[in-house]
Structure 1
Amino acid sequence: MKALTDLFREWIPQQRWFGGKGREWADVTEDGFFLDRGNPVLSVHRVRITYRDGARETYLVPLSWRDHLAEDMDAAFVGAVSTDGRESFAYDAMRDRESTAPWLIHLAQGSAIGPMRFSPAGEGHIPEGLPGDIVSTEQSNTSLVYGQEAILKLFRRLEPGLNPDVEIHDALRRAENEHIAALLGHIEIDDDGDPDTPPATVAMLQTFVPNASDGWRLATASVRDLYAEGDLHADEVGGDFAADSERLGAATASVHGDMAQVLPTEPASPEWYAEVARQMTERLDAAIAVVPQLEQYAEGLRQVYAAVAESQEPVVRQRVHGDLHLGQVLRTTTGWIILDFEGEPARPLAERRVLDSPLRDVAGMLRSFDYAARHMLVEQPEDTQRAYRAQEWAARNRAAFCTGYSEASGLDPCGESPLLRAFEADKAVYECVYEARNRPHWLMIPLQSLSRIADRD
């Protein structure tokens, strides 16, 4: 329907979850089906976008339909469509509370509707009948919280194959790992055009973790406490975070250990080390074109990457989180919960399922500690006292995380590992590009870290 594709052309580029911002569209098509014919009517659409450069992406867009404009739902309004002289009003169904219950009803029943299949998992309770409330902070996906019982994550960009978030949570559920929110089910959609193409993962449902605290907020609160105490060290402040960091290291080791037990592993080969070093070097070269300030560290970073190519470090490759940082963990009354095992959403799904070193996750968390410590320095970049205290906080919590990981796994992740150092550098290079494009005043954070990494003897 041309009227609907015209609406999508206008509406989709404005959505936070849309990954093709700034790219010129060549064509857009859609196909849809009704998921629920109640009031409001709920339809689900696959929107296929072709860009001028030939690339294609498919996005999932659920719509709720009403025969009149709804009050207090302007933020969810998509547009109006006229059919046979009657006007229907389309809304973003994930923001329309009255249209959110069918997802859980169909999951509890294990329904199959059109090309979509609902698969409950395990013995967990699915709270069918509850409405869902949108989580407004997400970017690449859209989540609904159902009371205090469950959270549904809708994967907006569709790719063939099982999403790693579902695959790994299911594996860790079977391993009875205590550091995840249990998987309650998932939803897939078949590719009507090619029966040989694997179904794409549409959504997953997990138990909701109530009364939990976000790791980033806890860490940055600790940093603020330190800054407020002019004459105390990091280990003397009431909001010291090191004990939590140590427990987080142990939780990370637990998750890595169980993933290695229930998912594939393989020893790292010399060819793998060489390929990792080559990819890092290529990313550095591309980043310098965006962030010229990186050039001053380029020689040192290339030496860091070259050390990986020659490494004899014994590493067992396995499935990893792929995007681990303080914003991906929750502290509860009983310990840490690790979230979002889908990896970096911008990367192709196949790349996110490739076996890797657990040190990539360790490096991601170490970078996150640096960010937590230094994020307030962007307001006062010349404050040497704060800079010293930030470094002290970061060093203390990085060490505590490594201690917790080591004691839980028997492996020291933060020794003199060329691979860990390279992973940290690679992550900081990525951060430089991100900050240059989105928050230029934050660029100092990864640049200062690269100075430390590149210049270390």
Structure 2
Amino acid sequence: MPEAVIRTVPSDQGLLDSLDPLLRQWLPRQRWFAGKGRPVTGFSLVAATELLPAGSRLGLHHLLVRAHQQSAPATGAPVEPGDCYQLLIGTREALPPRLAPALIGRLTGGPAAGRTAYDALYDARPAEVLLEALRTGAGVGGLRFERAADQEIRAGLVPRLMTAEQSNSSVVYGDTFILKLLRRIVPGVNPDLELPLALAHEGCRRVPAPAGWMTAGLDGRTWVLGVLQPYVQGATDGWELALRELAKGEDFTAEARALGRTTAEVHTALARALPTVTLGQEPVRQLTDGMTGRLEEAARAVPPLRPYAPALRTAFTALADLAAEGRTWTAQRVHGDLHLGQCLRSPGGEWSLIDFEGEPAKPLAERRLPQPPVRDVAGMLRSFDYAAHSAGAAVSGWAAACRAAYCAGYAEAGGHDPRTDPVLLRAHETDKAVYEVLYEARHRPDWLPVPLAAVRRLSTPEPEPA
């Protein structure tokens, strides 16, 4: 069934047609665009909603557009449907200098011909429109803005766009709330809303509770577009804090231990809030087959990985062997993409976890599957290695101390030390390192030595210190 369009108005298609040549140039330059390296061949309209009239001083259009790209440009492969992106397009007669970074281009046709199109999130007025809609629980066209019953959203909060985002965009309102707008969207229950709501219901204070959210209804399915959460004023993310302490030569083990406790508290609350499952021989075989397949793919693509592949494969076979002997593990909902950058430390020293979207490149259904909690643990352990390498520190010293402290903190709050299950931990950390090798080789070759160092260590594993 073709995707329905929220509004089938000729001016909507006319606006997209006039934007098409501009978006082909602008969209691939955005940090959140997922199809880099393949030219955009066209766009199709999924949904369109006019939030401010096109003929007024400031026009504001909410668009969901699908970007079509060639799967293999070099071979002239046929065009396939691409990802769906959320765009907020502003139009003005002329763009003031303060909005120069938001420029998309001058429209030569369509209902806004002669006006300048730009990314409206850079502009205060469009950002205010979104907050007011959330505050009042508005419905505009097919868009729905909802507010949590126990949350108060004051009017008049001054917005500012955060410019450090990568896979999404965020607007801060008066140091009170932060609105995360998902850029690449898919239909279904998004864990970035689902899990924080479940944790709020459990009374878990380690994750900011959603104050409101934006959705669209298409073909009887819900598309989550954005989540409004309390803004932790003065907070520092774990990555920035770790690099700062490394630069000063300061110890980070106390913070790593606190992060371990925080992770365990969130895992415990998620296990209470949502169903858990038992992983026996067949589910573990499927899990390790996936890990082995990712290793083989990465080894084909990255020659420096190939000498280590046979030894790394033993991490997965060892786990499958344990399952074949009757060993089982509990799986539950987890963060899914946990690292230092997904952790916030308040000025008072409290840690919280954010961004429960999971790995955006993976299908939504896969991101919502129960996983062994050690998957999140492995992500954090790898993050300590990244921080140490980024600062030029010796991984065997700083990172190892942080890894041990994190696991000890996890045991204090969760009652289970991840190091007491070394086969499960090694398999997940190896899988994460293999993913990092492929990612860095494709996107940041200068960073490739970081995961390769972990690959060397994991190919000749030694017991973690008690």
| Match for residue 230 of structure 2 among 207, 222, 229 | 207
In structure 2, C-alpha distance between the alignment counterparts of 1:330 and 1:371, rounded to whole Å: 17
| Match for residue 84 of structure 2 among 51, 58, 61 | 58
| Match for residue 447 of structure 2 among 442, 447, 450 | 442
Partner amino acid, structure 2, of 1:395: A
Partner amino acid, structure 2, of 1:284: L
Q: CA offsets per residue over residues 375-407 of structure 1, 9 Å max, x none?
A: 233xxxxxxxx53xx311111111111111101
| Match for residue 295 of structure 1 among 287, 306, 309 | 306
| Match for residue 48 of structure 2 among 17, 32, 35 | 32
With the length of structure 1 as denominator, give the TM-score of the two structures.
0.90
In structure 1, C-alpha distance between the alignment counterparts of 2:271 and 2:196, rounded to whole Å: 13
In structure 2, C-alpha distance between the alignment counterparts of 1:24 and 1:243, rounded to whole Å: 47
Contact 2:213 2:228 in 1 (8 A): yes
Contact 1:435 1:442 in 2 (8 A): yes
In structure 1, C-alpha distance between the alignment counterparts of 2:306 and 2:149, rounded to whole Å: 52
For the residue of structure 1 that corresponds to 2:175, the secondary structure is coil
Q: 1:65 to 1:299 in 2, by over 3 A?
A: same
- Aligned counterpart, 1:229: none
| Match for residue 412 of structure 2 among 392, 395, 407 | 407
In structure 2, C-alpha distance between the alignment counterparts of 1:83 and 1:49, rounded to whole Å: 19
| Match for residue 455 of structure 1 among 456, 460, 464 | 460
For the residue of structure 2 that corresponds to 1:22, the secondary structure is coil
- Aligned counterpart, 1:380: none
- Aligned counterpart, 1:115: 142
User: Percent sequence identity over matched residues?
Assistant: 41
In structure 1, C-alpha distance between the alignment counterparts of 2:165 and 2:359, rounded to whole Å: 14
Shift of 1:127: 3.1
| Match for residue 351 of structure 1 among 363, 366, 369 | 366
**Equivalences for residues 136-175 of structure 1 within 5 A:** 136-175=163-202
- Aligned counterpart, 1:318: 332
- Comparing 33-42 with 239-248, greater Cα deviation is found at 33-42
For the residue of structure 2 that corresponds to 1:190, the secondary structure is strand
Shift of 1:86: 5.4
- Aligned counterpart, 1:129: 156
- Comparing 18-27 with 443-452, greater Cα deviation is found at 18-27
Shift of 1:68: 2.5
Partner amino acid, structure 2, of 1:323: D
Partner amino acid, structure 2, of 1:311: L
Q: CA offsets per residue over residues 173-200 of structure 1, 9 Å max, x none?
A: 1111111112101110112xx33xx111
- Aligned counterpart, 1:381: none
Contact 1:127 1:146 in 2 (8 A): no
In structure 2, C-alpha distance between the alignment counterparts of 1:85 and 1:259, rounded to whole Å: 48
Aligned length: 431
For the residue of structure 2 that corresponds to 1:60, the secondary structure is strand
Q: 1:177 to 1:58 in 2, by over 3 A?
A: same
**Equivalences for residues 188-227 of structure 1 within 5 A:** 188-191=215-218, 194-195=219-220, 198-226=221-249
- Comparing 368-377 with 267-276, greater Cα deviation is found at 368-377
In structure 2, C-alpha distance between the alignment counterparts of 1:21 and 1:127, rounded to whole Å: 39
In structure 2, C-alpha distance between the alignment counterparts of 1:358 and 1:85, rounded to whole Å: 51
Contact 2:281 2:328 in 1 (8 A): no
Query: Is 2:273 the partner of 1:262?
Result: yes
Shift of 1:85: 9.4
- Aligned counterpart, 2:61: 43
Contact 1:373 1:391 in 2 (8 A): no
Q: CA offsets per residue over residues 189-226 of structure 1, 9 Å max, x none?
A: 112xx33xx11111000000011111112212222233
In structure 2, C-alpha distance between the alignment counterparts of 1:339 and 1:132, rounded to whole Å: 20
Contact 1:171 1:262 in 2 (8 A): yes
Contact 1:127 1:150 in 2 (8 A): no
Contact 2:300 2:306 in 1 (8 A): no
Query: Is 2:302 the partner of 1:284?
Result: no
Contact 2:206 2:266 in 1 (8 A): yes
- Aligned counterpart, 2:6: none
| Match for residue 207 of structure 2 among 173, 180, 183 | 180
In structure 1, C-alpha distance between the alignment counterparts of 2:113 and 2:342, rounded to whole Å: 46
In structure 1, C-alpha distance between the alignment counterparts of 2:32 and 2:267, rounded to whole Å: 29
In structure 2, C-alpha distance between the alignment counterparts of 1:89 and 1:404, rounded to whole Å: 53
- Aligned counterpart, 1:69: 95
Q: Point out 4+ residue stretches in structure 1 off by more than 4 angstroms.
A: 83-86
Query: Is 2:425 the partner of 1:420?
Result: yes
- Aligned counterpart, 1:371: 386
Q: 1:449 to 1:98 in 2, by over 3 A?
A: same
Partner amino acid, structure 1, of 2:89: L
In structure 2, C-alpha distance between the alignment counterparts of 1:85 and 1:336, rounded to whole Å: 47
| Match for residue 430 of structure 1 among 428, 435, 444 | 435
Q: 1:125 to 1:290 in 2, by over 3 A?
A: same
- Aligned counterpart, 2:76: none
Shift of 1:435: 1.9
Q: CA offsets per residue over residues 407-455 of structure 1, 9 Å max, x none?
A: 1111111224211101111111111112222332322221111111111
For the residue of structure 1 that corresponds to 2:370, the secondary structure is coil
| Match for residue 79 of structure 1 among 102, 105, 118 | 105
Shift of 1:67: 2.1
Q: CA offsets per residue over residues 40-91 of structure 1, 9 Å max, x none?
A: 2211011112223324211110011212232332111112224579522211
In structure 1, C-alpha distance between the alignment counterparts of 2:149 and 2:271, rounded to whole Å: 21
In structure 2, C-alpha distance between the alignment counterparts of 1:35 and 1:18, rounded to whole Å: 24
With the length of structure 2 as denominator, give the TM-score of the two structures.
0.89
* Unaligned residue ranges in structure 2 (runs of 5+): 1-13, 72-79
Contact 1:44 1:60 in 2 (8 A): yes
Partner amino acid, structure 1, of 2:329: V
